[in-house]
Structure 1
Amino acid sequence: MSNPLTDWQPAVLPSGSTLQGRFIRLEKLDVAHHGDDLWAALQGPDPKLWDYLPYGPFAERGLFDAWLKGQAAGSDPMFYTVLDKATGRAEGILSLMSIVPEHGRIEIGHVAFGAPMQRTPKSTEAVYLLAKLAFALGNRRLEWKCNNDNARSRQAAERLGFTFEGVFRQHMIVKGRNRDTAWYSITDAQWPHVHAAFEAWLADANQTAQGQLKTLSELRAG
């Protein structure tokens, strides 16, 4: 038997307004303002950065800028640039995508973080800020999808509090290869608990020069 929703209203579309965090801020992708930094950050030494994305790596700056301009012009996916608050430099991108307001469904995807962001609080906070926005807009479900072979993305989803839902076999063909897609989600019922863990993890009391005192998993379990 179906479970009727009382007073359900469709979610609000994201506007692309700037989101402020402790370590980073998210700005809507702007090639003129962010292009130089993103070229430097994303063409760096990480050979796996582009492996599971449907585009890249870009051999020439012109191709990269053309791709950025195409993404900046769209609203789904809506791309955000991650800027380090201390330096003002752009260090990565990610997006809100698969936006279905009538069902309250939205996804975080197209994640590409340069070396200065990886394994730092900045990468966690970037996802947190978009997750927080997603639920503030009235969404019931936040999704994370990745190639089932992409161990880094699967580990990130689980660390960040997404629940594994299963694998869509032979879901896509990406760069001439089969992609089985792993699906993860956070629902609005789960979000208060996940949100509290994010806040505790990012708090001054948990951040030290040597790293974090407690992991996100420990904080969600506590």
Structure 2
Amino acid sequence: MPYNEFGQALGQALPSFTAGPLPEIRVLLGQTVRIEKLALAHEADLYPIYGPDAPRQNWTYMSIEPFQNREDFHCFFEKMVQSSDPYYLAIVDQASNQAVGTFALMRMDAANRVIEMGWVVYSRDLQRSRQATESQYLVMKYVFENLGYRRYEWKCDQLNQASCQAALRLGFHYEGTFRQALVYKGRNRDTAWFSLLDSEWPSRKDALESWLADSNFDEAGRQKTSLSRPE
């Protein structure tokens, strides 16, 4: 560890460090899904996922509720399409060619090469599926290998156990909880913080690619080996 002339410990020097680029995605192509920049063409597919028939339990930890009519959703959706941060993405099933969910890259700190995954909204079929894992893998790969970011974050309500478990399964490391960080829907939120670093990505990439391989699934599409959490 380096020290300055006062005997104070210093962080690792990064002499060639520069600010990172902002995301600019057209298509990220996978085996079972592709990730596309959100566009008005996705609206019809996504309305059932965001609309009045969406399972209410999926929205408990979101800051909004399902939309009760198409007009209100359209107004919100137009803002999603135009937004640059959050940078919304559609998850498109390769077999059906339909959008089956959305998520976003957000809280972009290009100066420090830090970015967050958030606003995750999945259809019933996408939840806990091979497609969901591949969707996250494709964006993780883009963040580290295309954008060259150093830190990838995941944050959620500490009480949202499904989101916390998903973060750990994907390879994010729990860093702690920010108490009374937010107020939404008239209630307190303690926010759990998770992160994955560029130095951790190569080993996590190998684990994800091994899990996603066709050889890891039987004829019924069931996994043979689970995706283990990193130590």
Deviation at 1:159, TM superposition (A): 0.9
Code of the residue aligned with 2:227 in structure 1: it is: L
Partner Cα distance (1:105, 1:152) in 2: 24
1:193 aligns with 2:203: yes
Conserved in 2, the CA contact under 8 Å of 1:10 and 1:138? no
Counterpart-to-counterpart distance in 1, 2:97 and 2:26 = 17
Match of 2:47 in 1: 39
Q: Is the 8 A contact 1:95 1:109 kept in 2?
A: yes
Once the two structures are TM-superposed, the CA of residue 210 in structure 1 deviates from its matched residue by 4.8
Partner secondary structure for residue 120 of structure 2: strand
Cα distance in 2, alignment partners of residues 141 and 174 from structure 1? 26
For 2:131, the equivalent position in structure 1 comes to 122
Same amino acid, percent of matched pairs? 39
Contact 1:99 1:105 in 2 (8 A): yes
C-alpha separation in 1, matches of 2:108 and 2:54: 32
Relative contact order: is structure 1 or structure 2 higher (C-alpha 8 Å, sep ≥ 6)? 1
State TM-score, norm by structure 2. 0.91
Select the residue among 186, 205, 211 that pairs with 2:222.
211
RMSD of aligned C-alpha atoms? 1.4
2: distance between equivalents of 1:107 and 1:85? 25
Q: Does 1:92 align with 2:101?
A: yes
Relative distance call for 1:9 and 1:18 in structure 2 (3 A) is same
- Return the letter of the residue paired with 1:67: F
Against the structure 1 CA distance between its residues 42 and 57, is the aligned structure 2 distance closer, same or farther, given a 3 Å change threshold?
closer
Do 1:121 and 1:202's aligned partners in 2 also have CA atoms closer than 8 Å?
A: yes
User: Cα distance, 1:2 vs. partner?
Assistant: 2.0
CA contact (8 A) 2:50 2:67 kept: no
Instruction: Report which of the two structures shows the higher radius of gyration computed on alpha carbons.
Output: 2
Counterpart of 2:39 (choices 27, 30, 34) is: 30
Gap runs ≥5 in structure 1: none
